[in-house]
Structure 1
Amino acid sequence: MSRTVLITGATGTVSTALMNALAGTGVTLRALVRDESRAPQGAEIRVGDLDDPKTLPPAFEGVQDLWLLTPNSPRAPENSMNALWAARRAGVERVVRLSVIGAAPDAPNRSGRLHALSDQELEHSGLRWTILRPHWFMQNLLNEADDIAATGTFSLNMDTARVGMIDVHDIAACAARVLLDGPDRHHGRTYTLTGPRSLTFDEVAAELSRAWGRPITYLPVSDEAKRKALLGHGMPAWVADMLEEYAQAYATGWGDLTTDTVAALLGRPPRDVADFARDHAGAFSAGA
């Protein structure tokens, strides 16, 4: 019998990549969305909101596996709690949860501390569980595409930080592997997912330059300058503050780490930033 996997965060980057990775594998995909007009293709659609637990039971009915991804907000632990409560009441067998790198009660950023609360709740839920803690997404570089296309530069408040960044498609592939391996094999495991090497953003710029045959330069900027730019693009202040905390932590060396976990799960090395640069060259071209 096909297992039904409920996908939360279904319109986001990671969950979209996960649904693509699970397509054609024999599982039944069900997507939880707040806005049916934005519903992804290739999945059963259920309308509900993790902010409102009353809307969740129909989406969880008949589900064996929950992919739990909550939005970055002060309400993230509440959203995770609502999902776990609905899962337990519906008889869901397993939860695979997307957490964050370094989630812990003493993490140097509010996101890490909030995710730690939800990780601990899941661990004590009585459900089978696996937690994925990915590093900084290579796809975050796509936020700099307009500046790179226009000026050949990108600006971050990371100073000389080294970061073991990971391609979102590797996160999705690892999540798919865990879900396809069955409910017991990865129970009780927390996996820290990184790319193959820890890079400075000067080194990232060099890889982008090699891939595209034109010079790309990284320009470090202050926290204040980056926050002003993010707010100017409409980012909520809470998220801008959270990203500033991450940048400050990375600048101290907090993100200078890699693991072998992706290779162990997938049987191949994780994708390098050079692979990412080649695949996304069009997004960074003038006029794209």
Structure 2
Amino acid sequence: MSRTVLITGATGTVSTALIDALDGADVNLRALVHDGSRSPRAGSAEVVVGDLDDPRSLPPAFEGAQDVWLLTPNGPRAPEHNMNAMWAARQAGVERVVRLSVVGAAHDAPNRSGRLHALSDRETERCGMRWTILRPHWFMQNLLNEADDIAATGSFSLNMASARIGMIDVRDIAECAARVLLDDPDRHHGRTYTLTGPRSLTFDEVAGHLSVALGRSVAYLPVSDDAKHKTLLGYGVPAWIVDMLEEYAQAYASGWGDFTTDTVADLLGRPPRDIADFVSDHAAAFTIGST
């Protein structure tokens, strides 16, 4: 009998890619959204409405699911949202939780996101269900946030100094999650997987790959924390998120993200996508008139 997989955060970048990765697999997909008017690109998935902020809304969505993909939005209440989902899963008799954490999650992480995720990781480890935790590195897809500047000016600005980061394509994160969800529930139980790309890169190197893919010069322009802070606030990014991103940037600039693992290759039987693959596949997004 096909297992039912509940996908939380179904309209987000990773969960959307996971729905694509599971499309056509022998599972019953159920996509949780908190706003019924915002339907995900769900394919054959059943769309259900529930809000991790409201535990009373969750039981119908979790009922009958064997597996839960648990993604909580970044924010100061993330552990509460994880707690609400875990309680709903336990009450519904869910067998397995596969949780998306963050790279370097720990009680002494140099950023509040990592410390908050460590709380939820610990809760997951003690949940009484089968569990697997994925801790992905910096997303290559974050570069799409710079697409308009790259298209218009041929440059992008980050407060990362000369940071070198083992960045990963979200599609590889999703395919690793799909692999775990499609395997026997016991195979990955109790495992925490740190997912990275194939090599650490500076943003000057990223700019070089963009230049090749686009056929024109692209430059990386390092800026100060204050400058990036003002820019993001000007775009309407919430202050808590802006502060969190600054903490990550400072950690990366110190060398905190300069590492890779072999986990993606071990799970998928192939190397993770390289930055050259990412920029080639997304070249249109960095071109004027594409957005």
Structure 1-normalised TM-score?
Answer: 0.99
Alignment pair present for 1:17 and 2:17? yes
| Distance in 1 between residues matched to 2:143 and 2:95, nearest whole Å | 36
State how 1:1-288 maps to structure 2 within 5 Å.
Answer: 1-40=1-40, 41=42, 42-288=44-290
Q: CA deviation at 1:210?
A: 1.1
Measure how far apart 1:287 and its partner are.
2.0
Select between 32-41 and 162-171 the one with higher mean Cα deviation: 32-41
1: CA distance, partners of 2:273 / 2:7: 24
Alignment partners' CA distance in 1, 2:154 and 2:97: 43
Could you tell me which amino acid in structure 1 is paired with residue 170 of structure 2?
V
- Please report how far the alpha carbon of residue 150 of structure 1 lies from its aligned counterpart in structure 2 after TM superposition: 0.4
SS of match in other structure, 1:37: coil
Q: 2:199 and 2:209 mapped to 1: Cα distance?
A: 13
Q: CA deviation at 1:119?
A: 0.1
What is the RMSD of the two structures over their aligned residues, measured on CA atoms? Answer: 0.6
Show CA shifts across 1:49-102 (max 9, x none): 001100000000000000000000101000000000000000000000000000
Query: SS state of the match for residue 28, structure 1?
Result: strand
Query: Secondary structure of 1:149's partner?
Result: helix
How many positions carry a matched residue from both structures?
288
Shift of 1:28: 0.4
Hey, what's the Cα distance between the residues in 2 that align with 1:33 and 1:208?
34
SS, match of residue 144 in structure 2: helix
CA-CA distance at 1:211 after TM superposition: 1.3
AA at the equivalent of 1:12: G
Deviates more, 1:47-56 or 1:37-46: 37-46
Moved over 6 A (4+): none
**Structure 2: distance between partners of 1:182 and 1:212:** 43
> 3-state SS of the aligned residue for 1:38?
coil
**One-letter code aligned to 1:123:** E
Identical residues among aligned pairs (%) = 79
User: With structure 2 as the length reference, what TM-score do the two structures score?
Assistant: 0.98
What SS does structure 1 have at the residue aligned with 2:201? coil
Partner SS state of residue 210, structure 2: helix
Paired residue type of 2:39: A
Q: Quick one: distance in 2 between partners of 1:125 and 1:27?
A: 24
Q: Give the unaligned 5+ runs of structure 1.
A: none
Partners of 2:60 and 2:68 in 1: CA distance: 14
CA distance in 1, matches of 2:47, 2:25: 18
